[in-house]
Amino acid sequence: MTPPRPSPETAPADARSAATTRTAGAALVCAAVALVLVGSGLWLTVAGIVAAAAGLGLGIAALVRSRGTSRRRLLVVSAVAAIVLGLLSLVTGGARLALWPVAEAYQQCVSSTLTLSGTAQCQQELEDGIWSYLSGGPEASADSSGPAGASTSNASSDPEGSAPAARRL
């Protein structure tokens, strides 16, 4: 006994539903990859922004195509999740690229610090650098955020450097 064949009317609808499901899945994958990539180095951040844009476009396409399909709820949830993740990645990556010099100085500062107070100092320098960068003021110099600059701003991690810092207080 052979299984019943789908009627000619339902075959295109099933094919459309499957294509829309693949589109929503691809959108979710692109958005998830973008979310991971935007927190990395310069070129990976750029690749993350491209993946976020692709995820956003595929999510919108899946949302539009989901009309009249049998899996509409699942497709809408997937497409909306991809759109939200894509937008989040796009904004995060764009902000990171726009503030690249300040973000790079912060990464160097954090990687060279050993204490929580040093990390707090790096956070303060990041906030000051962002405001300075956005206001058009002098940028945070690269030499103050390097390993030598981190040891002066992170005096508690260097026993020899903490004595002069204590005298200044």
Q: What is the pLDDT of residue 146?
A: 44
Q: What is the mean pLDDT of the chain?
A: 79
- Report the chain's terminal Cα–Cα distance, integer Å: 91
Q: What is the pLDDT of residue 35?
A: 92
Cβ-in-10-Å burial (0-12, 13-18, 19+) of 113 comes to: buried
Q: What is the pLDDT of residue 42?
A: 87
Q: What is the pLDDT of residue 82?
A: 95
What is the pLDDT averaged over residues 134-142? 63
Cα 145 to the chain's mean position, in Å? 23
Q: What is the pLDDT of residue 7?
A: 52
Give the Cα separation of 165 and 161 in Å (integer).
7
50-72 pLDDT, tens per residue?
Answer: 999 999 999 999 999 888 777 88
Give the Cα separation of 92 and 102 in Å (integer).
14
Decide if pLDDT at 104 tops 60.
yes
Higher pLDDT, 11 or 104: 104
| Cβ atoms of residues 165 and 155 within 8 Å | yes
Decide if pLDDT at 16 tops 60.
yes
Sign of CA dihedral 66, 76, 17, 10: negative
* Both tokens assigned to 3: 């299984």
Decide if pLDDT at 2 tops 90.
no
Decide if pLDDT at 3 tops 80.
no
- Spans of all domains in the chain: 17-98, 100-156
SS3 assignment, position 53: helix
| Cβ atoms of residues 65 and 16 within 8 Å | yes
